[in-house]
Amino acid sequence: MSRAKGFISFEGIEGSGKSTQTKFLAGLLQSKGHNVIQTAEPGGTRIGGEIRKLLLEPQNHMEPLTELLLYYASRAQHVQEVIAPALKQNSIVITDRYTDSTVAYQGHARGIDLNLINNLNNIVAPDVQPCLTFLLDMDVEEGLKRNKKALKEDRFELEAVEFHNRVRKGFHKIANEEPDRVIIIDASQSEEDVSSEIQKIAEEKIYNIFN
């Protein structure tokens, strides 16, 4: 799978601050004159939004394979409707979650065959992979506490701590395999410190990407 110039993703466990930092980076790059599309998964489109409701509704108890295929249905629409067209116009696309989340959650945590997930990646988005990924890393229980404090509760927050620890280990494995793409950020810091660290890295990386 080839990496797409100008495509940035944020990944991490529940409560790690991905949404906040996605907004921060998008605003920063826009202030520097870049055309930026900010998006998220599951979702990003009208159809994706409907699929998101199915995936996150706590009352929906679904099979792991059903969950996986719903994520890829949402991603297929997202790539074709939003991400690929924006990249063709030389916009920067920043997404809150993408294929690494599928590998970590449905692969490492749910136990679905990683070969199947890789094959689906090749079908749905073979040429639309991030060139830069920020992995916001922190203790699982602390992340869940953050979400609980923010009154956020969905199907994944209700999973056992062991599930989320498998997710975190999955993200670490991805980062170890692709250290040139995946940058690990200590998300236990304050929002301001996390933002500052991301800003320093992003300014250098974005300059190298577009020059």
pLDDT at position 152: 66
Q: Is the dihedral of CA 25, 27, 28, 29 positive or negative?
A: positive
Average pLDDT across the chain, whole number: 91
**Which pLDDT score, from 0 to 100, does residue 126 have?**
84
- In the chain the first and final C-alpha atoms are separated, in Å, by 23
Q: Is the pLDDT of residue 211 over 60?
A: no
What pLDDT is attached to residue 156?
84
pLDDT at position 115, please? 97
Which pLDDT score is estimated for 204? Answer: 81
Is the separation of the CB atoms in 132 and 183 below 8 Å?
yes
pLDDT digits (tens, 9 = 90+) for 117-171: 999 999 999 889 999 999 999 999 988 888 676 556 777 878 889 999 999 999 9
**Residue of 129, 134, 131, 130 lying closest to 200 (CA atoms):** 134
CB-based contact 17:10 (threshold 8 Å): no
Looking at residue 111, what is its pLDDT?
Answer: 97
Is 185 buried (19+), middle (13-18) or exposed (0-12) by CB count in 10 A? buried
**196 pLDDT above the threshold of 90:** yes
Q: What is the pLDDT of residue 3?
A: 80
Distance CA 135, CA 186 (A): 9
Q: How far apart are CA 202 and CA 208, in angstroms?
A: 10
State both tokens at 31. 């202030």
What's the pLDDT score for residue 54? 93
pLDDT on residue 150: 58
- At 78-104, the pLDDT tens digits run 999 999 999 999 999 999 999 999 999
- Cross-strand bridge partners of residue 130: 4
Query: Do the beta carbons of residue 29 and residue 17 sit within 8 Å?
Result: no
CATH topology of domain 3-210: Rossmann fold (3.40.50)
> Where do the structural domains in the chain lie, given as residue ranges?
3-210
Q: Please give the pLDDT value at position 151.
A: 58
pLDDT band at 207 (very low <50, low <70, confident <90, very high): low
What is the model's pTM? 0.92
What pLDDT is stored for residue 9 in this prediction? Answer: 97
Residue 1 has pLDDT above 70, yes or no: no
Q: Is 189 helix (H, G, I), strand (E, B) or coil?
A: coil
Q: What is the CA radius of gyration of the chain?
A: 16
Burial of 180 (0-12, 13-18, 19+ CB in 10 A): exposed
Q: What is the pLDDT of residues 54-79, one digit of tens each?
A: 999 988 889 999 999 999 999 999 99
Beta-strand runs (E) in 13-128 = 36-40, 92-96
Cβ-proximal residues to 147 (8 Å cutoff; 6+ apart), any chain: 14, 15, 153, 157
Per-residue pLDDT reduced to its tens digit, 175-192: 999 999 999 999 999 999
